Amino acid sequence: MKQIRTHNLGYPRIGAGRELKKATEQYWKGKIRLEELERTGRQLRIENWQKQEDAGIDLIPTNDFSFYDQVLDTSLLLGNIPARFGWDGAETNAETAFLVARGQSRGADDGEGCGCSAVSTYASEMTKWFDTNYHYIVPEFNEKTNFRLSSTKIFEEFHEAKELGYRAKPVLLGPVSYLALGKVHDSKRKDFDRLELLDDLVGVYEKIISLLADEGAEWIQLDEPVLALDLDEGQRRALSYSYGRLKKAAGNTKLLVATYFGPLRDNLADFLNLPVDGLHYDVVRGGEEVTELIEKFPAGKTLSLGVVDGRNIWKNDFEKSLGILLPAVEAIGVERLWIAPSCSLLHVPVTLKSEKKIESDLANWLAFADEKLDEVTTLGRVISGEVESKALEENRNAQRERLASERIHNGKVKARMSFIIPADAKRSSDFPVRQEKQREKLGLPLFPITTIGSFPQTAEVRAARAQWRKGTLSDQDYDRFLEEETRKCVEFQDSIGIDMPVHGEFERNDMVEYFGEQLEGFAFTANGWVQSYGSRCVKPPIIFGDVRRMKPMTVRWAEFAQTLTKKPLKGMLTGPVTILQWSFVRNDQPRDETTRQIALAIRDEVRDLEAAGIAAIQIDEPAIREGLPLRRADWDEYLAWAVHAFRLSSSGVKDTTQIHTHMCYSDFNDIISAVADLDADVITIETSRSNMELLDAFVDFKYPNEIGPGVYDIHSPRVPSVEEMERLLKRAAVLIPEENLWVNPDCGLKTRGWEEVRGSLINMVTATKNLRSRRKVEA
């Protein structure tokens, strides 16, 4: 049989040892020059291309590299740089990217300019890339936006790869997704529709495509992940219109449009009818739809099937993939079928090779980016008729082992799951009853003052933890150190008049990892870094098996802290949805099932805290909103199980125990009724930056329980004044029934320094006291 083609959509750019992060931060600190940073970039690109070539990938992506973010690179390519940056229209480079992303240009003082006169302004906003944990820089549009080819990056990188002999395929974000992912900013016209910009935008894309064609590109990949979202008529027309023009501009060069992250559903016909040469489809997320897709696939086009999961770290099930690929070859023909990962490999760690500590059975179930490339080419060889009996057998054995492993399947957990009844997810009494009992028990003043949990994770705290992990600080000494930090923290809160103190979270590295490390069913990598935004990388835990709590996880610190104060201390936990959302999750059972297992573990912890005399317990769920499915039609189902999981974790306590939750964002309009369904006694949220405007959702909806809208922005080192916070509080007190109003910062204080924290909290307490006494006078 003829050889089937393989390709890749994108490769992680950070480097196996996070070389890009390190070099970028060196550059920001002024320790290396731009040329040096660029050299690191070039080295990484070449290494990555070579790896893909060695794996046997036929078409290797270029322009998937970025010093900061690929969407931002697209804005630079198109010359769409917001006016406030004072860009002079010259060619853009990495410095321009840093300026837009960070609001400051470090090059300003040493001659490495970026073509922009603004040295410091507010950065462009950042938001989540679909439902991943990657964040992109949001393009800004208004009626004055115009586009002009302004970067040579895409051409240079293609050229660079070609010169070195790689079969390069330039990759870029398509025009319709680019428009959809941005936001209208600074527009003077209420009726401004960003699609008005399409014509001009496609003009620049035509230029880019035809230049790449002149350079000899055989294929160009245009990513249109909006095809996995709900599209309106305008967007559908924009897709066929844009690609009609781009196809013409491409001449003999072929265009591949890629969609990923979800099924196409009502967008299937729009996708299939795109006037291009090839289409890439995410089989992992598309699931059930693939048979229909193949049946309807138009003659003459190439189909790329993304069968290897680019979003998760599990070894591919070859039998399953071949079950899709073989009939596809049958229907479409080997010449017109390609094999690929489902999406860019940006979302998985680089290589399993550096993971020496993962137990061998678990390691044998995993595949990171490099291993995924091997999977793609192995599948390719099987399809092409090469004998791969050893690879197939090994793969089959790994799947079989995983299916049966006792490390994954815990009879006790499964039994407990089957006994969950509706009453488990319901408090014994309704909120008004609980509220009265809690008031009596806690005896808090009006406008009770609390914080979100963490206090500064100083260099000293981090150093002590690192030493303890290395074994140079004994368990006992580390414990004593933590006791001391906790004691200082609680005493401080008492001394300034915080009504509900916390222990400070000094023992925690990260709000998910800390719990994962103590739960059965979780594993941790040594080097499994994934880019989150810019130079920031995260190392998500792997949830591989049934989750079980082995022993209390936080009681020791809550109990200790409570001995230090007469005030009711608030215990701190991370919620089940957030733990799920920020981990790599097992793919052998539905996500909701895994979440319920975590919820049961948290439920046990909540009960143990209660039994230890902790009267208030906060279960943080900052990730509940970002877990929303991409399609509106799927929201209700998700929200139902997410809310249920939270309630399962929080409902096992007496009426007198006060359950708090915290979410660190402010846009609740869409999900306010689900938030109310959580039935937490108190919710703390972010609102200070919006001047309490974002309380609207809670006001319109008449949120029934108690609420603490953050009165100061912990993301900034600035110490807010008493007057400022008093003003915000007064505003909140108009919008929310006074007796339900709490006072607290926006989020945890772990990234701040003690000095700012001291100043800010003292001012916050003063503002509250002022408000309390004013109210007395009025009464």
Q: Which does 750 bind (CB under 5 to 8 A by kind): Zn ion, ligand GLN, none?
A: ligand GLN
- The nearest distance, CB 538 to ligand GLN, in angstroms, is 13
Closest residue to ligand GLN, judged by C-beta, is: 748
How many residues would you count in the chain?
779
- Cβ closer to Zn ion: 95 or 505? 505
Residue showing the smallest CB distance to Zn ion in the complex = 664
Examine residue 352 and tell whether it contacts Zn ion (CB under 5 A): no
Binding Zn ion (rule: CB under 5 A), the pick from 217, 358, 664, 725 is 664
453 binds, options Zn ion, ligand GLN, none, Cβ within 5 to 8 A by partner type = ligand GLN
Q: What would the two tokens of residue 613 be?
A: 């005399």
Does residue 148 come out as left (phi exceeding 0), alpha (psi in the -120 to 50 range) or beta? Answer: beta
In 29-125, where do the E strands start and end?
A: 60-62
- Interaction between residue 294 and Zn ion (CB under 5 A): no
Dist. CA 372–CA 341, nearest whole Å: 7
| Structure tokens belonging to residue 640 | 């139902």
Least distance between ligand GLN and beta carbon 573 (Å): 9
Residue 78 · residue 147 · CB < 8 Å: yes
Closest approach, Cβ 625 to ligand GLN, in A, equals 12
Could you say which of Zn ion, ligand GLN, none residue 572 binds, taking C-beta under 5 to 8 angstroms by partner kind? ligand GLN
Residues within the interface to ligand GLN (CB under 6 A): 452-454, 505, 511, 572, 620, 622, 662, 664, 747-748, 750
Residue 710 interface partner, choices Zn ion, ligand GLN, none, CB cut-off 5-8 Å depending on type: none
Nearer to ligand GLN, 170 or 622 (CB): 622
Sign of CA dihedral 171, 176, 178, 180: negative
Minimum distance, C-beta of residue 615 to Zn ion, in the bound complex (Å): 22
Residue 345, CA distances (Å) to 75, 180, 195, 420, 500 in order: 22, 22, 30, 38, 45
If 0-12 CB within 10 Å is exposed, 13-18 middle and 19+ buried, where does residue 411 land?
Answer: exposed
Strand partners, 573: 619
Minimum CB distance to ligand GLN, residue 455 (Å): 8
Query: Is 36:27 a contact under the CB 8 Å cutoff?
Result: yes
Q: What sign for the dihedral angle of Cα 342, 343, 344, 347?
A: negative
Which of the stretches 28-36, 181-189, 418-426, 660-668 binds Zn ion when contact is defined by CB under 5 A? 660-668
Chain centre to alpha carbon of residue 153: 26
Active site residue 715: yes
Which of these segments, 435-443, 493-501, 561-569, 747-755, binds Zn ion (CB under 5 A)? 747-755
Binding mask 564-603 for Zn ion (x = CB under 5 A): ----------------------------------------
**Contact call for residue 408 and Zn ion (CB under 5 A):** no
Residue 502 touches Zn ion, criterion: CB under 5 A:
no
Residue (558 or 623) nearer to Zn ion, CB: 623
Alpha-carbon gap, residue 591 to 642, rounded angstroms: 10
Sign, CA torsion 728/732/734/735: positive
Segment interacting with Zn ion (CB under 5 A) among 94-102, 372-380, 625-633, 744-752: 744-752
Least distance CB 578 / ligand GLN (angstroms): 8
CB atoms within 10 A of CB 399: 19
* Residue 58's binding partner out of Zn ion, ligand GLN, none, with CB under 5 to 8 Å set by partner kind: none
CB of 246 to ligand GLN, least distance (A): 42
| Closest to ligand GLN by CB, 65 or 515 | 515
Q: Which two tokens stand for residue 331?
A: 């229907």
Part of the chain binding Zn ion (CB under 5 A), chosen from 7-15, 104-112, 337-345, 743-751: 743-751
* Residue 561 touching Zn ion (CB under 5 A): no
Q: List the single partner that 511 binds among Zn ion, ligand GLN, none, CB under 5 to 8 Å by kind.
A: ligand GLN
With CB under 5 to 8 Å by kind, the binding choice for 282 among ligand GLN, Zn ion, none is none
Q: How far apart are CA 555 and CA 616, in angstroms?
A: 13
The residue range among 320-328, 381-389, 721-729, 746-754 that interacts with Zn ion, by the rule CB under 5 A, is 746-754
- Of 337, 645, 747, 765, the one binding Zn ion (CB under 5 A) is 747
Phi and psi at residue 77, to the nearest 5°:
-60, -40
State the minimum distance, in angstroms, from the CB of residue 663 to ligand GLN.
7
Minimum CB separation from ligand GLN for residue 514, in Å?
Answer: 10
Q: Which residue has the tokens 């809160």?
A: 493
CA angle 219-224-226, nearest 5°? 170
Measured in degrees and rounded to the nearest 5, phi and psi for residue 760 equal: -65, -45
Distance of closest approach, residue 685 Cβ to ligand GLN, in angstroms: 10
What does 336 interact with, of Zn ion, ligand GLN, none (CB < 5 to 8 A by kind)? Answer: none
Q: Cβ closer to ligand GLN: 183 or 488?
A: 488
Q: How many CB atoms lie within 10 A of CB 614?
A: 25
CA distance 628 to 39: 40
Span near Zn ion by CB under 5 A; candidates 18-26, 130-138, 628-636, 739-747: 739-747
Question: What residues contact 360, with CB distance under 8 A and at least 6 apart?
Answer: none
Q: In this complex, which beta carbon is closest to ligand GLN, that of residue 220 or of residue 601?
A: 601
- The string of DSSP codes covering 685-733 is E--GGGTTGGGHHHHHHT--SEEEE--S-TTS-----HHHHHHHHHHHH
Is 749 a binding residue for Zn ion by CB under 5 A? The answer is no
Cα distances from 179 to residues 126, 144, 245, 580, in angstroms, run 15, 15, 17, 31
CA–CA distances in Å: residue 703 to residues 440, 451, 671, 672, 756: 22, 21, 12, 8, 32
- Distance between CA atoms of residues 753 and 108, nearest Å: 27
Q: Residue 660 binds what, of Zn ion, ligand GLN, none (CB under 5 to 8 Å, by partner type)?
A: none
Which range of residues in 41-49, 192-200, 688-696, 745-753 is near Zn ion by CB under 5 A? 745-753
Q: Which does 714 bind (CB under 5 to 8 A by kind): ligand GLN, Zn ion, none?
A: none
- Name which of 626, 518, 629, 516 is nearest 579 in CA terms: 516
Q: Pick what 220 binds: ligand GLN, Zn ion, none; C-beta below 5 to 8 Å, kind-dependent.
A: none
User: What one-letter code names the amino acid at 147?
Assistant: F
| CB closer to Zn ion, 204 vs 663 | 663
| CB 746 to ligand GLN: min, Å | 9
In the bound state with Zn ion, the residue whose beta carbon lies nearer, of 302 and 687, is 687
CB of 692 vs ligand GLN, minimal distance in Å: 19
Of residues 453 and 541, the one with the C-beta less far from ligand GLN: 453
Q: Which one of the listed residues 159, 185, 409, 715 is annotated catalytic?
A: 715
Closer residue to ligand GLN, CB minimum distance, 375 or 620: 620
Q: How far apart are CA 443 and CA 500, in angstroms?
A: 11
Torsion of CA 326, 332, 333, 335, to 10 degrees: -120
Residues 28-57 that bind Zn ion (CB under 5 A): none
CA distances from residue 277 to 121, 252, 301, 329, 696 in whole angstroms, order as listed: 43, 10, 5, 17, 48
Counting contacts by CB under 5 A, is residue 711 touching Zn ion? no
Smaller CB separation from ligand GLN, 175 or 748: 748
Q: How far is CA 194 from CA 200, 534, 618, in A?
A: 11, 26, 42
Residue number with CB closer to ligand GLN (37 or 512): 512
In the complex, least distance from residue 728 CB atom to ligand GLN, rounded to whole angstroms: 20
- Of residues 59 and 659, the one with the C-beta less far from ligand GLN: 659
- List residues binding Zn ion (CB under 5 A): 664, 747
Active-site positions read: 715
